[in-house]
Amino acid sequence: MMRYLFRRLSHASLLVFGVSLLAFLFTTLAPGDYFDEMRLNPQIAPEALVALRAQYQLDRPLPLRYFSWLNSVLHGQMGFSFSYNSPVAPLLLVRAKNTLLLTITATLLAWVIALPLGIWSAERLGRFPDRLISVSTAVLLVIPDLVLALGLLVLAVRTGWFPTGGMASVDFASISPVHKIRDLAFHMTLPVAALVLSALPLLVRHVRAAVAEVLHAPFLLAAEGHGIPRGTLLLRYVLPAAANPLLSLFGFSIGALLSGSLLIEVVMSWPGLGPFLLEAILARDIYIVIGGVLFSTIFLAAGNFLADILLYWIDPRIRTENASR
């Protein structure tokens, strides 16, 4: 087991390193010397520039520059932001927490809804409930998530049931902890709803496909013939067999939701990575963008690694495959 985990972990780490290399190469491809632009910025003191130059060793050849940057990243220093005039890492962390809050909630909620719906649909393949769900998912699929988010916003404006943006009410600091949580939940509802609605159709469809394939397998018919009750069948026979495609779907859904949250945060003014990165791009604040990219890769790799662990635990075929190596 350890060997499998170690292999998957090293795979994930290699991926993150590869992405960091890619991201770093992007900085060198940017037209014009970035530091020239910085020099023109009156807010940055010339001494800071000299220090930065030395830290990032801009006069050295490329591989050394990459390693010095990597070194500083591993020490928690992800670069310097010019618009905020401060190191990138603390800025990113604050925003990243908010994005994670949204993404994790949306992922959990989406799966909690999609799994039962997909299984139910697969069990009644071709009949009315299945058709109903297929049509609804098709309708949802056709509506782009941008439109969905805007629509929900309009709904909020017209009905006044939900706040139309931001993460906290004006008087957040002064209300009780219980009310704080309620306030947070209220503010989270629309963004999470938008995310879940955008991810749901694809998830439901794929769960339905994966489960339907297993439901018609001979081994399941044999188990049914043994008189095993439906619930046990589902939990201990169907889901483990369908685990492989479902878990790779899980990894994929994290990536999709991360991307989706970027857009929805901007639309709904949620103070996460979305608006932050957008600002950074418009301000040509490159290190923030790299930091954001790196963060998202790490999170996605972590999610995939989690899926790998779960797969190992659930699907016995993976275990025997590894034992024979």
Question: Rounded to the nearest whole angstrom, what is the least distance from the CB of residue 161 to another protein in the complex?
Answer: 15
| By CB under 8 A, residue 209 contacts another protein | yes
Nearest to 272 by CA among 280, 282, 262: 262
Question: Rounded to the nearest whole angstrom, what is the least distance from the CB of residue 254 to another protein in the complex?
Answer: 8
Q: In angstroms, rounded to a whole number, what is the distance separating the alpha carbons of residues 192 and 196?
A: 6
Nearer to another protein, 220 or 293 (CB): 293
How far does CA 321 lie from the centroid of its chain? Answer: 30
| By CB under 8 A, residue 83 contacts another protein | no
| By CB under 8 A, residue 245 contacts another protein | yes
Total residues in contact with another protein, by rule CB under 8 A: 62
Instruction: Find the part of the chain contacting another protein (CB under 8 A) among 49-57, 90-98, 181-189, 201-209.
Output: 201-209
CB 109 within 8 A of CB 306: no
Q: In angstroms, rounded to a whole number, what is the distance separating the alpha carbons of residues 28 and 61?
A: 11
Of the residues 151, 185, 221, 302, which one makes contact with another protein according to CB under 8 A: 151
Q: What are the respective helix, strand and coil percentages of the chain, to the nearest 5?
A: 80, 0, 20
Q: What's phi and psi for 80, nearest 5 deg? A: -125, 135
CB 137 within 8 A of CB 204: yes
Helix H or strand E encompassing 278: helix 273-282
CB 1 within 8 A of CB 310: no
Neighbours of 138 (CB within 10 A): 11
Question: Rounded to the nearest whole angstrom, what is the least distance from the CB of residue 22 to another protein in the complex?
Answer: 6
Give the per-residue contact string, 246-285, with another protein (x = CB under 8 A; - = no): --xx--x--xx-xxx-xx--xx---------xx-xxx-x-
How far does CA 146 lie from the centroid of its chain? Answer: 17
- The type of residue at 8 is R
* Long-range Cβ contact pairs of 30-34 (< 8 A, separation 24 or more): 30/286, 34/286
Question: Rounded to the nearest whole angstrom, what is the least distance from the CB of residue 226 to another protein in the complex?
Answer: 26
User: Residue 271 in 3-state DSSP?
Assistant: coil
Give the per-residue contact string, 5-34, with another protein (x = CB under 8 A; - = no): ----------xx-xx--xx--xx-xxx---
Nearer to another protein, 103 or 237 (CB): 103
Residue numbers 286-325 binding another protein by CB under 8 A: 286, 289-290, 292-293, 296-297, 300-301, 325
- In the complex, the residues that contact another protein under the rule CB under 8 A are 15-16, 18-19, 22-23, 26-27, 29-31, 125, 138, 141-147, 150-151, 153-154, 157, 164, 205-206, 208-210, 212-213, 245, 248-249, 252, 255-256, 258-260, 262-263, 266-267, 277-278, 280-282, 284, 286, 289-290, 292-293, 296-297, 300-301, 325
